[in-house]
Amino acid sequence: MASITVTRKSQSFVTPAAPASAETLELSAIDRVPGLRHTVRSLHVFRQGGCRADSCARPADVIRTALSRALVEYPAFAGRFVGGSAAAGEACVACTGDGAWFLEAAADCRLDDVNGLDYPLMVCEEELLPAPEEGVDPTSIPVMMQVTEFTCGGFVVGLVAVHTLADGLGAAQFINAIAELARGLDKPKVAPVWDRAVIPNPPKLPPGPPPSFQSFGFQHFVTDVSSDRITQIKAEYFEAVGQYCSTFDVAIAKVWQARTRAIKYSPEAQVHLCFFANTRHLLTQVLAKEGGFYGNCFYPVTVTATAEDVATAGLLGVIRMIRDGKAGLPLEFAKWASGDVEVDPYQLKFEHNVLFVSDWTRLGFFEVDYGWGAPSHIIPFTYADYMAVAVLGAPPTPAKGTRIMTQCVEEKHLKEFRDEMKGFF
């Protein structure tokens, strides 16, 4: 790391700009999945700084004030998790108005001095991400933010949010609401909808064995793929199959195949790909037609094949496996919603042969604008030692294409995995 100093200048709870309702909100069956009581961490880099058209207010001041106003619209983010009501018997959210944890910091350099926070990071992420006071459980505070201002006028927003309250789309909706208020709007463009009771609540299944959290020592690897290469593969798939595929399908198919080839699982071994598919479109009869629902509304889609099939199939064949998995979503979600499953699909298994993937490009974070323009770069930290992960993002502007961020192979397999990825893309 470079000899850069980040100084935290203030830290406090930002409370709603109007008194809290003091109501207690019940969470949905998906919100209450134990595995979601964890924090999702990310850095959002804004190169444009200095005076806005309307004022010369500093980003930290503008965002703090807007956060306070947004918490009036989203009181759960200013609340605290409590034991459930007698009816629910589960954790709920008390709208206490205790607030979101907010830190203001300053770095003694320009963003250019640290390569715009592109990989490899020249500033430790822990310096830029908010942390609670010592002894406080970070999962007890629904949202924490840190705004770090650089000498060039650019700034970085470090975001830590508890997954229990919102999925990626919901969290981005909340952050966009803060940004809209920061730009001077009277109200967020999208009115928030709580309405967790409309999410299916099937009978509980007996708990399975506790998940394993074995540390695998997976290594970090990042590569960028040009838009032209992705477009070429999409065209090849359409020509071969007569159907469209997405950037997600292309990129993730190659990661899954490259990982399987590099690790050299036995041919008959099963390998799994797991991603969390948005299910709002499957609940249009009960969700608000104007949108705004920001709770967890997804289903874990798992695609399973033998290692031999994934390793030896052409890439188009692996894409087809992923497309088939997506096609089964409506039926699988309906079966879960009606209680017609024997194994809880939300109880995940963190095993070596399971690759978890997520796509940050379509959540709404890249559209956030506090008044200084959209972010030039977003860095998600969705990694854990016990799970193989691949995340889709975007390279820093003005570059185009897709960034694939992985932590899914050990050191001994990294070279072959890297060669597989770079050789193809």
> Dihedrals φ, ψ of 202, to 5°?
-70, 165
Give the CA distances from residue 107 to residues 5, 8, 133, 270, in Å, rounded to whole numbers and listed in that order.
Answer: 6, 9, 21, 48
Q: Which residues contact 213 (CB under 8 A, 6 or more apart)?
A: 350, 386
Concerning whether 163 is annotated as a catalytic residue, the answer is: yes
Two structure tokens written together for 372:
């200084």
229: buried, middle or exposed (CB in 10 Å: 19+, 13-18, 0-12)? middle
Q: How many residues does the chain have?
A: 425
Q: Which of 64, 38, 43, 69 is nearest to 130 (CA)?
A: 43
Nearest Cα to Cα of residue 273 among 297, 254, 246: 254
The phi-psi region of residue 335 (left if phi > 0; otherwise alpha if psi is between -120 and 50; otherwise beta) is: alpha
Report the 10 Å Cβ neighbour count for 220.
13
Backbone φ and ψ of 23, nearest 5°? -75, 160
Closest to 164 in 3D by CA, of 303, 346, 286, 310: 346
Tell me phi and psi for residue 88, to 5 degrees.
-85, -40
In this structure, are residues 111 and 121 in contact, taking their beta carbons and an 8 Å threshold?
no
Catalytic residue among 31, 44, 118, 163: 163
Nearest of 154, 159, 160 to residue 116 by alpha carbon: 154
Q: Hey, what are 333's tokens?
A: 């979600």
Q: What φ, ψ does residue 254 adopt, rounded to 5°? A: -70, -40
- How far is residue 21's CA from residue 8's CA, in Å, rounded to a whole number? 32
List active site positions. 163, 369
